[in-house]
A and B are shown apart, each in its own frame.
Chain A
Amino acid sequence: MEADDFALMVQVQGGSPGAFETLVERYQRRLYRLACGYLHNHEDALDAVQETLVKIYLARQTYRPSAHPFTWASRILANQCIDQIRHRRVRPEQSLEEAQERRPGHEPLPLLSSEEAAQARQERRELGRVLQGAIDTLPPRQREIFMLRHFGEMRLEEIAATLGCALGTVKSSLHRAAQSMRDHLGRTDPVFRAKEEEAS
């Protein structure tokens, strides 16, 4: 995390030209990844990030520098995602892509051109799906800590501050999460298993 985030937030509060744009540019991708972790849907994640950033702008005067700005932003995002999940429970929606992926015997067809690119994209998506599946198997607290570390790019101390838990809890959760991920990949991903066998 950049050290001048605090200074940037002060500028945003003071209405300096371009300060809010810089904040958005700096945080949007990290927030998007966290949102994907919560919502598992690209479009929903983008919506959540937009809403979060708008809320940050509107509530900027309530920010207190006792917490890192990204820590504050990630809490707003988490609440936004929880709201969206609740809303989704009331009005369940499933994207077409998801529905078709889950339907047996209906593999998505590759694009008409560039078969190789489609193949590579498919493989990358497959690995991404396996990893996402592995992350989903983690208990909620471990998952949150793991996501904040990997996708929020937060230091362990910042994670502890964000979640209001001890640093030791963050360390032990990350340790258990890493072990679970490794076991899951070893069981489900043939490429990872092959590499392991090759190494031993």
Chain B
Amino acid sequence: MSPRRPPRICRAARDRMTLLYYGALAAADKADLLRHFDSCRPCALEWSAISRCLDAVAPETVFPRETEVDWREFTRVVVARARAAKITGPGIAPASGWGRLSLAWAAAFPVPARFAALAAALLVAAFLWNGWLGRGGTSGGRPGSSDSGVEGQPLASLLESAHVMQDRLARRGAVRYLSDSRALLVNLVGPADPCRKGSGQYDMTLEKEKSRQLLRRKNLYEGGLGALQDQRLATLVRQLESVLMQVAALDDCASARQIHDLREQIETRQILLRIDLVTREMEGRTNVV
């Protein structure tokens, strides 16, 4: 703080710096403050530190994964979901009856599982609808035709969209599964924590638990990778399953020998390298949301 300037002025200036940064100062106040910075080096330094700090709080720094998202695809999925939710019933459920059931359903299943269930429901609806039309039924009208959009499109197109969405979700889930499995295997290949219970043994509690989680997740999209272009991914997912099952079957305190065998298996099968290759291939081919 400048010795010739009363500290009160500097305190007042510092109190207004944030407002200056956020553009919430009147023009005259702003000019006053900038003049003050010209004549007071400590305040000018403080201003530069505050600005630097707040400039750093940029979304791309704080949320680096925002750029990984394909937002166009995300928009498409959200819009399709919103309109499908309108067809199948309100997503904001009332607090009783079917509403409560729907809330319980939503709480019990993660979003990908809900998508798969929704797609299956749409398929059944299409089957019934087509059968009904085939019998010559025409009355009854379409559900919700006032809002142009998916409701106005033929049901076949809606179903196609649901299929595409389901495939994408299966791939998206598989790519995440690969990435999480890779992290687990890298952990397994790296230095292990010694086990507290026995000397010469290693703590595998985390790896075991994560393997179980991954195996459970895999079941969610199993069967959704039947397309020809997904064959390599499906094969890798199957091979990973065998390794993960071995990890899940380890004792909490595993022997060095067991870990060595697993590492050898990972290296011999080149699993990490193959995960990298398949992940890159998938990310190049599908813009995974």
Known: A32-B63, A199-B49. A156 touches B24 (CB 8 A): yes
* Contact B183 A100, beta carbon cutoff 8 Å: yes
* A181 contacts chain B at the CB level, 8 A cutoff: yes
Please state if A58 and B91 are interface contacts (CB–CB under 8 Å).
yes
Bound-state Cα–Cα, A166 to B213, Å: 47
**Whose C-beta in chain A lies nearest to the C-beta of B277?**
A112
Residue of B82, B187, B272 most packed against chain A (CB within 10 A): B82
B residues near A71, Cβ cutoff 8 Å: none
Once the chains are docked, how many angstroms separate the CA of A56 from the CA of B78?
A: 11
**Are B21 and A57 touching (Cβ within 8 A)?**
no
- A113 CB → nearest B CB, Å: 8
Residues from chain A with a CB closer than 8 A to the CB of B61 are 124, 127-128, 131
Given known A-B contacts A100-B187, A105-B193, A175-B18, A29 and B78 have beta carbons under 8 A apart: no
Instruction: Give chain A's interface secondary structure class.
Output: helix
Q: What interface size band does chain B fall in? A: 35 or more
25 intermolecular pairs with C-beta atoms under 8 Å apart: A15-B147, A25-B75, A28-B78, A29-B66, A33-B62, A36-B63, A42-B63, A42-B68, A46-B69, A49-B78, A50-B74, A51-B91, A54-B81, A56-B82, A57-B86, A97-B183, A99-B210, A106-B191, A108-B183, A108-B186, A109-B186, A124-B61, A132-B62, A181-B54, A185-B56
Residues of B within 8 A of A (CB): 15, 17-19, 21-22, 24, 45, 48-50, 52-54, 56-57, 59, 61-66, 68-69, 71, 74-75, 77-79, 81-83, 85-86, 90-92, 107, 110-111, 146-149, 176, 180, 183-184, 186-187, 190-191, 193, 206, 210, 213-214, 272-273, 276, 289
